Structure 1
Amino acid sequence: MTQNAQNTQITLVIGGTGKTGRRVAERLTALGRQVRIGSRSGEPAFDWNEPATWEPALEGVDRVYVTYYPDLAFPGAAEQVGDFAKVAVAKGARRLLLLSGRGEEAAGVAEDNLKASGADWTIVRSSFFAQNFSESFFLDPVLAGEITLPTGDAVEAFVDAEDIADVVVAALTDDKHIGKTYELSGPRLLSFSDVATELSKATGREIKYVSVTNEEYRAVLREHGLPEDFADLFTMILDGRNAHLVNGVEEALGRKPRDFADYAREAAATGVWNV
């Protein structure tokens, strides 16, 4: 395929203003690829809960980066992903890459549904994002100096969203990744107490970790207007299913993943945690 032909293709990036989608869109644009942002504010708009928006968003699209909000573990998500994949393939967007989650049974159903569409697929299974502490629902607790979670002493292999974006872009732009499943993690396991220590070092102020019960955390979520189902996602940390490192970043890119400490230093330098 010629460079000109590649540059006329459109990649739909669902969730293109989110943590990974924004980075993927930026990288594809820098490579000279045409990008369409799939969001409710996009042109045309895309909404997972409004199937009538799917076909207009797929018009002229060759490939799709598929992310699902709030999470593939939520009820109905797997079915919506499968339905969307069928529509995408029918519209000519055969190349689909799904951002999935490590150890999530419901996410595995979504993966199977996407594959069943007949798409040329790649699956990227991710650990918890490091950027959740600077760009998402852990930001306010970090600013307040206290991270309250129902995770005890359990550990997680936090992965940098920059690494996720690099893997996704490599897979979307090189057909050698078709039919591959990459499991991504950072280079070491960290407890949330370890995370608080790293954030304290990066910010120069004390950030504490406070362990609570699942029910206590649900009350915190209700207080902040967030779905209580988010509490259930932490069962993946508590039961240890992801308490080991994987090498998907190295498999896809030929390099080691970035460490959480590097992420923390760079994030702190932006001033996002200044109080």
Structure 2
Amino acid sequence: MTPAVTTTPSNPKPVLVVGGSGKTGRRVADRLRALGLPVRIGSRSGAPAFDWNDPAGWPAALAGTGAAYIAYSPDLAVPGAPEAIAAFAEVALAAGARRLVLLSGRGEEEAERAERALQASGADWTIVRCSWFMQNFSEGHFRDAVLAGELALPVGDVAEPFVDVDDIADVAVAALTDARHVGQLYELTGPRSLSFAEAIRAIALASSRTVRYTTVPPDAFVAESRRQQVPEDLIGFLRYLFEEVLDGRNVRPADGVQRALGRAPRDFDAFAREAAHAGAWKD
């Protein structure tokens, strides 16, 4: 596919960004606004409010929109996600929102079921299937561990082609604004695979911090997460990812960023340098 050319209608309908306060959603919303497009944030605090557990509120959130970016919470890997995506697509189409862009995960059977539900819906769909986010280390659950000097996970030497969330947002916005992306499934990764230990070494070098990576048994990870009062649903989801998805199935980088945008994805070392410069790992 040739590089995307963003098109802006003269009188555009709002784009509903479901999960608009999350890592990908807020970046998608910011980019859409920068293009002069109206944005509606789909969240519990939005107006109208959007809650995946309250389908009765979906029609109001979608009313008058022309497209939607869909980041399902807590994750497409959880039971019930495919049914929720199918139901959301039905409501979106009834509201006139035909362009639907779904954030999905690599190597997750339940996520692929959700993808198929969207593909069968009749919508003008695009799927962005992503690997682990680089920003998990700078904005998410792992940041506190980096600041504490040790990241301990039940993962050994398996490598992962971590993807930059800014690349995800760029692809999602291209898909929301350019019809050439309709019907495309993009697997988004970084340009190379790294183990978690290698990722931590890159962060330590970029941030001039002493940080180490330690492999721990799954039960020890769960016990420590509970000690830190991590919510049980998040603990269970992380354990599922570490024990089942991080088995080497996703080690090979994909070409989705290049296909969608006509450029290479950002490398982990560049992410670490820029995040360190921005103060991501300052105490």
Give the TM-score band, short-chain normalised: over 0.9
Q: How far is the alpha carbon of 1:237 from its aligned partner?
A: 4.9
1:194 matched to 2:198? The reply is yes
Letter in 2 for 1:257: P
For 1:240, what is the secondary structure of its paired residue? coil
Give the one of 64, 72, 79 matched to 1:68: 72
Q: How far is the alpha carbon of 1:206 from its aligned partner?
A: 1.1
Q: Deviations over 1:165-205 (max 9, x none)?
A: 01111111100000000001101110011011001011101
Q: Equivalents in 1 of 2:199, 2:65: separation in Å?
A: 40
Query: Residues 6, 178 of structure 1: CA spacing in aligned structure 2 closer, same or farther, 3 A cutoff?
Result: farther
CA-atom RMSD, angstroms? Answer: 1.3
Aligned counterpart, 2:3: none
Provide TM-score, normalisation by structure 2: 0.93
Q: Deviations over 1:2-49 (max 9, x none)?
A: x78444311000111111111110111000100000000111110001
Give the one of 175, 180, 183 matched to 1:171: 175
Aligned counterpart, 2:259: 251
Q: How far is the alpha carbon of 1:225 from its aligned partner?
A: 2.5
Aligned counterpart, 2:247: 239
Report 1:139-158 matches (<5 A). Answer: 139-158=143-162
Whether the aligned pair in 1 keeps the contact of 2:8 and 2:37 (CA below 8 Å) is no
Q: Equivalents in 2 of 1:27, 1:4: separation in Å?
A: 12
Give the gaps of 5 or more residues in structure 1.
Answer: none
Q: How far is the alpha carbon of 1:221 from its aligned partner?
A: 2.8
Runs of 4+ residues deviating >6 angstroms: none
Aligned residue pairs total 273
Q: Equivalents in 1 of 2:196, 2:35: separation in Å?
A: 37
Q: Deviations over 1:73-113 (max 9, x none)?
A: 11212211111111111111111010000111000011111
Give the gaps of 5 or more residues in structure 2.
Answer: 1-6
Q: Which has the higher contact order (CA 8 A, sep 6+)?
A: 2
Query: Residues 149, 6 of structure 1: CA spacing in aligned structure 2 closer, same or farther, 3 A cutoff?
Result: farther
Q: How far is the alpha carbon of 1:236 from its aligned partner?
A: 4.8
Aligned counterpart, 2:134: 130
Give the one of 195, 204, 208 matched to 1:204: 208
Whether the aligned pair in 2 keeps the contact of 1:103 and 1:236 (CA below 8 Å) is no
Letter in 2 for 1:39: S
Instruction: Among all aligned residue pairs of Structure 1 and Structure 2, give the percentage whose two residues are the same amino acid.
Output: 56
Query: Residues 211, 15 of structure 1: CA spacing in aligned structure 2 closer, same or farther, 3 A cutoff?
Result: same
